[in-house]
Chain A
Amino acid sequence: MLKVNNLKVNYGMIEAIKDVSFEINQGEIIALIGANGAGKTTIMHAISGLIKPVSGSIMLNGQDITKIQAHEIVRKHLIQVPERRRVFASQSVEENLQLGAFTRKDKVEIAKDMEMVYARFPRLKERYKQLAGTLSGGEQQMLAMGRALMSKPEILILDEPSMGLAPLLVAEIFSIIKDINKSGTTVLLVEQNAKMALKIADRAYVLETGNIVVTGTGEELINSDEIKKAYLGG
């Protein structure tokens, strides 16, 4: 469904991504794990069109989207929940969700999806009039995910959804991600919290300083000694 071929991305003079290839099949949960600075977010930005790679290609359902602008990629239902959530702090919860549906015109369907999001995240419904900037970190993560769901994602990319959240909340967020996947959305998950990510992932790729070094099913990786040592704390 999504295929990244020989991706190379530079930040100014720095080679952030050297040569990365991976693919995601329909219905999968794929985890991309790696330490800080390995280049995870850079890959996410390249897929969403926020930065342009030096070389390589990104194919979505057989179509080359490497050169397409970020706002056009959203219309292809490839949706990203960015790192640090980036909700619109000075707009209300409901306005944030409406912005998620920015590319859509079907008012009836939008209203239905809004109810669906509120059903999945009851906390957001309680606070629909509150400004997003006043929500707690976990609520902001829920809002960012709800906002992404409003764009009707076929592929949902989540960049560090567990960042800064209490363990209990992390578990909740991950079970919601699993639910979203079960209801038919393909998921690409980028995480520093390798343990949680590998638990729910069908397959995973391990990224180290701009290169993919290991790949396998979530189960294989979680039991591999090498991964245990480097990412799972022994």
Chain B
Amino acid sequence: MELFLMQLLNGINIGAIYALIALGYTMVYGIAKLINFAHGEIIMVGSYTMFICIATFDLPVVLSIIITILACALLGVVIEKLAYKPLRNASRISLLITAIGMSYLLQSVFQLIFSANSKTFPQVINVSNVEIFNVTVSGNQIVTLFVAIFLMIVLDLFVRKTKTGKSMRAVSEDSGAAQLMGINVNRTISITFSIGSALAAVAGILYSSSYPLINPFMGSTIGIKAFTAAVIGGIGIIPGAVLGGFILGIIESLSKAYISSQLYDAIVFSTLILTLVFKPSGLLAKHKKEKV
């Protein structure tokens, strides 16, 4: 029982991180109809930025976090402007290939600067462990869960209640009609990229706090899993990303403990295949009925 609870907690912990990253994939897909494969690399860049701020410049933790978030948000916007915006009217496949290229470009640049060797991520979360029902909950897990849920609530309120959030939903539904309302689609896309990348920055810090070895390729595995989570929940659907993230994290952690510590990735991706077989557009996808 204790083992189960412990693994469940681990699953929720990594699931919360997947969910934060999946939100970025799903929001960008919803607005720009683009799978941003460079999104995983934002996590890596975030981890390195945090590492430099603390290990090299010895900055205070809070300031480092703010710098990391801002740097990643900016990077997201710049990537969109440089790589994706010129292709706004190109075919989907060109965009997809560009996104993959962008992902490799970032990996290679960071490999050139920092070498392929892993660096040890500094300890930034100093919260002590808590014991609940004989199960130790680490400070990292508490902070991860708290931060992730807080950000999800803020994002949900932002998208549903604010004018910018409503314009994002409008663009996602029908960008042409949104323009006829006077909504600047390019600006909305930039905002979406910056929010998604800021969430990825936070996810990067949380992930590297739990798994403190960082290297230029760390983003690709986490990225592809978070993308899987977004697809399982239904790409383009915000609550779907959260649900998919937690489901994937819990499945991963439980199969690591109970089935096989080597096959767990295969099990995780089988979940995706099963979902696609039985609910091709994702768990939370609704069939759109439109009257004409």
Contacts and interface: CB of A to CB of B under 8 A. Distances in A.
Contacts of A98: 166
A103 interface: yes
A32 interface: no
Most buried by A among B166, B169, B182, B185: B182
A82 interface: yes
A136 B163 CA distance: 27
Given A71-B185, A137-B291, A140-B291, A90 B180 contact: no
A50 interface: yes
A42 interface: no
A70 B291 contact: no
A174 interface: no
A57 interface: no
A87 B288 CA distance: 14
Contact of B183 (A84, A86, A102, A164): A102
Interface stretch (B80-88, B104-112, B170-178): B170-178
A135 interface: yes
Interface in A82-116: 82, 84, 86-91, 95, 98-100, 102-103
Contact of A71 (B173, B183, B288, B292): B183
Contacts of B176: 50, 82, 86
A162 B259 CA distance: 62
B118 interface: no
A66 interface: no
A136 B177 CA distance: 19
Contacts of A84: 292
A133 interface: yes
B170 A88 contact: yes
Interface stretch (A15-23, A73-81, A196-204): A73-81
Interface string A59-79: 000000000011110110001
A185 interface: no
B181 A137 contact: no
Interface in B273-292: 288-292
Interface string B148-187: 0000000000000001001101100110111111111100
B177 A70 contact: no
Contact of A90 (B169, B182, B292): B169
Most buried by B among A71, A79, A82, A136: A71
Nearest to B169: A91
Nearest to B177: A86
A151 interface: yes
A13 to B, nearest CB: 15
Contact of A133 (B170, B181, B291): B291
A79 B163 CA distance: 20
Given A86-B176, A99-B167, A147 B291 contact: no
A48 B290 CA distance: 25
Interface of A: 48-50, 69-72, 74-75, 79-80, 82, 84, 86-91, 95, 98-100, 102-103, 133, 135-137, 140, 147, 151, 163-164
Given A88-B177, A103-B181, 9 more contacts: A79-B180, A82-B176, A90-B169, A91-B169, A95-B166, A98-B166, A99-B166, A135-B291, A137-B291
20 contacts: A48-B179, A50-B179, A70-B180, A74-B181, A74-B182, A84-B292, A86-B174, A86-B177, A88-B173, A90-B169, A90-B173, A91-B169, A91-B173, A99-B166, A99-B178, A99-B183, A102-B183, A133-B288, A133-B289, A137-B292
5 A-B pairs with the lowest CB-CB distances in the bound complex, closest first? A74-B182, A103-B182, A70-B179, A86-B177, A102-B181
